[in-house]
Structure 1
């Protein structure tokens, strides 16, 4: 592994990459900050690892570098934003802020997004709600179809992730999960590193396990829980895609394979004000107690101590802010190639 690199250095590099492609300074700073934040929190599959994909879409014309997200529809508690085919982080950050604002006045805020793009981990768009003493929800239609309907073989679904957060204790509860056994980002990282996939992540169209990540296009990801994961992915597609007038099913554009077409990615962000239902202090105390009960559960033989979703993220972030972020040599090499392609200074 290479030496750790400071968050400031990584952010500055990412800003250089985006501004070289015509992204305004302010937008480049926001997106770069969120991408590095993903790495600080330990979401390595959705941080700087994604820069190459974003650069390719900006270079290919599939993503608008000068996007101006806007409100299309609005009520007291809801809104629909159009991302103007810009970098996905821009409109999702705006959606998060607006959802929190609406929740403060109406008790709940639900903001749908269309015309977006890949925006990193959904956790980024629920952590602010927890910090504000609220409950956060975010879900998205995956940026490519890697999943077949349960019992079928046609690629018609994405990993369709969902994240939910609540306050309570030092680490907020943050569940961020794909509706598939493994996220595509993990498979791409294994391919970049030359490592195999475990059995059970993917199968070929013959139904047999697929373990070579470089052959992922020959098969499809498996949903969590079989038909249940398939149903959950469908539900998210309806709420984040169809409801917002965004792509779902065969309309989804593979944002890696197609760098020229708008993806019309759909997402939603929600915020729920706990005070609309009861005393926030009581919620926090009860949640903290329940989290402690979960962690205190005696582990099965051979298992580590029980964790609650979100545990350790704050410690990871603090450590990486202080010590820097270690990039895998394969990722560092790819970022150097990005710099060369864009004629910008390397890390």
Structure 2
């Protein structure tokens, strides 16, 4: 059974590791908070699981620990941020806060980012505006290509995720967080670490046969959601978050799982809608409560125990893990213990 680690302990450990690598304490604390929040939400493939990979990239010189963010374009309702190869969490927190600031004035704001890095789960940034009577929508180019164009075999596209968070009044926000592939690659990596097979339908090999052994993931590719429709979404999201921002796309995407030194130039985008620009926020949030009630009260098909809304499991997991602690598999705990020894910091 995995050990349960209090969120405060996990955040402090992440912060210690990043500080030991040379990241300023304030930035390390921000990143640690966001990474721990990912684990609290049940996004296990994007939380502390990624820490050894981040550290490897930092120590290899592939990431800038003291970035100076620049506004390459700045208009009332839009901006383009150059992240100076900084930690993706810092770049996207900055971009999201900027979009929220602009949206308060203009009603809607779109901020793109380039020269960023992997930033954790998409819902982290979509949910920030939802805490301020706003709707958040996040797009990103994934940090490695694991999918070909529909009908092809060259890995030219990534999971390219989207997340949308819509605040309610008495109910939790509705949060859609999904990859454009059937499974995010982080789930493949966590399955490999746990020694578990993948379900059929996540990946196929180059002969089109199901691939269920995560240790053989490099022999195949992820499948898009909805067949050609998922391929189309991945392509468009990649254009909006990558090409539009002057970030990497297609053959230019660096596989940060395999290459710790080359600058990734990851592209991301955040769209923020200020609800007050359209309607009374309290009225809107009450209406979203009604959406909850309508969906939950639908007559169910035989064998279905419950109808769930997007993000409902996320909020349940967050409540449970906040109270009980974050479960860490034994293999991950061993890897983190080794990392602590290598960095000379106190372990979990």
TM, length-normalised to structure 2? 0.97
SS at the partner of 1:301? coil
Task: Say whether the 8 Å CA contact 1:298–1:305 is kept in structure 2.
Answer: no
1:55 alignment partner in structure 2? 55
SS at the partner of 1:338? helix
1:64 aligns with 2:64: yes
**1:277 Cα shift?**
1.7
**1:312 Cα shift?**
4.2
2:280 alignment partner in structure 1? 279
Distance 2:254 2:227 in 1: 24
**1:212 Cα shift?**
0.5
1:257 alignment partner in structure 2? 258
Question: What aligned pairs does 1:102-117 form with structure 2 within 5 A after superposition?
Answer: 102-117=102-117
2:164 alignment partner in structure 1? 164
1:177 aligns with 2:172: no
**1:100 Cα shift?**
0.7
Count of residue pairs the alignment pairs up: 347
* C-alpha distance after superposition, 1:239-258 (max 9, x if no partner): 00001000000000001100
2:338 alignment partner in structure 1? 337
Distance 1:207 1:2, change over 3 A: closer
1:15 alignment partner in structure 2? 15
* C-alpha distance after superposition, 1:284-325 (max 9, x if no partner): 222211121111123322333010011143343233223221
1:239 aligns with 2:244: no
Task: Say whether the 8 Å CA contact 2:3–2:330 is kept in structure 1.
Answer: no
SS at the partner of 1:4? strand
Task: Say whether the 8 Å CA contact 1:69–1:90 is kept in structure 2.
Answer: no
Task: Say whether the 8 Å CA contact 1:171–1:312 is kept in structure 2.
Answer: no
* C-alpha distance after superposition, 1:253-279 (max 9, x if no partner): 001100000000000011101121222
SS at the partner of 1:45? coil
Task: Say whether the 8 Å CA contact 2:171–2:292 is kept in structure 1.
Answer: no
List gaps (5 residues or longer) in structure 1: none
Distance 2:2 2:295 in 1: 37
Q: Which moved more, 1:91-100 or 1:328-337?
A: 328-337
**1:86 Cα shift?**
1.2
1:148 alignment partner in structure 2? 148
SS at the partner of 1:305? coil
Q: Which moved more, 1:302-311 or 1:99-108?
A: 302-311
**1:225 Cα shift?**
0.5
